[in-house]
Amino acid sequence: MEDIIRFFDSHAEKWDSYWKEEEFGIIRKILERSSLSQEDSVLDIASGTGILVPYFLEFGVVASCIQGIDISPKMVEIFSQKFPQIPVICGDFLLKTLPENNYSYAIIFNSFPHFLEPEKVFEKVSKLLKPKGKLVVAHTKTREALDRHHQNSGSTVRTHRLLEDKLFLQYYQKYGFTDVILDNSLYFYTQGVKK
């Protein structure tokens, strides 16, 4: 875990400069298709520098109803500088205590392959969501492009791969999610609704 923290810490300062204009369009599509609304209380898991925050606000989510969490202290520091009004926690999502039955919308954006125990992520998110709450796992790239990107990175994350489709489907079901969507046509997108 230390190497993952070091890796993202080392990229935090430059993180926002890596983004390309077309990726912001994909963020809007992801939030739109997952029906994010002003009623939602949002958990942004592996929130990085808060790249999603302006879009949550654009969709009408109330600032105090957004909670970020990220394991990299530097990412969290930049998040807090950019958005002092938005609560963000520094720590491992699987280890930090968060309120159960509390959020209506949890998103793991551009981050899922970095979770080394993916099944435990489903188990925990299921406890944190309210009934009818939604889990969205999405990327700006397709599965193939994403796995290539990590493989060619020559860095700590080179062995990180996106969970197989069949395991996504299995874990959604095992941890009480229904109405599952899995789509890899233009970019990778999955969602499930907690029963």
Chain contacts with ligand SAM (rule: CB under 6 A): 4, 8, 46-48, 51, 69-72, 75, 92-94, 109-111, 114-115
- Closest distance between ligand SAM and the C-beta of residue 142, in Å? 16
| C-beta of 111 vs 190, nearer to ligand SAM | 111
- Closest distance between ligand SAM and the C-beta of residue 186, in Å? 17
| C-beta of 116 vs 173, nearer to ligand SAM | 116
- Closest distance between ligand SAM and the C-beta of residue 1, in Å? 7
- In 3D space, the residue among 155, 130, 145 whose CA is nearest the CA of residue 40 turns out to be 130
Q: Report how far residue 17's alpha carbon sits from residue 122's, in angstroms, rounded to the nearest whole number.
A: 31
Residue nearest to ligand SAM (CB): 48
| C-beta of 65 vs 107, nearer to ligand SAM | 107
- Closest distance between ligand SAM and the C-beta of residue 160, in Å? 9
- Closest distance between ligand SAM and the C-beta of residue 179, in Å? 24
Per the CB < 8 A criterion, the answer to whether 4 and 114 are in contact is yes
Burial of 106 (0-12, 13-18, 19+ CB in 10 A): buried
| C-beta of 32 vs 179, nearer to ligand SAM | 32
CB atoms closer than 10 angstroms to residue 126? 21
| C-beta of 3 vs 179, nearer to ligand SAM | 3
State both tokens at 36.
């994010």
- Closest distance between ligand SAM and the C-beta of residue 4, in Å? 5
* Ranges assigned E (strand) in the chain: 42-45, 66-70, 88-90, 103-109, 129-138, 177-183, 189-194
Per the CB < 8 A criterion, the answer to whether 192 and 179 are in contact is yes
Which one-letter amino acid corresponds to residue 3? D
| C-beta of 65 vs 108, nearer to ligand SAM | 108
Q: How far is CA 173 from CA 9, 134, 142, in A?
A: 34, 13, 23
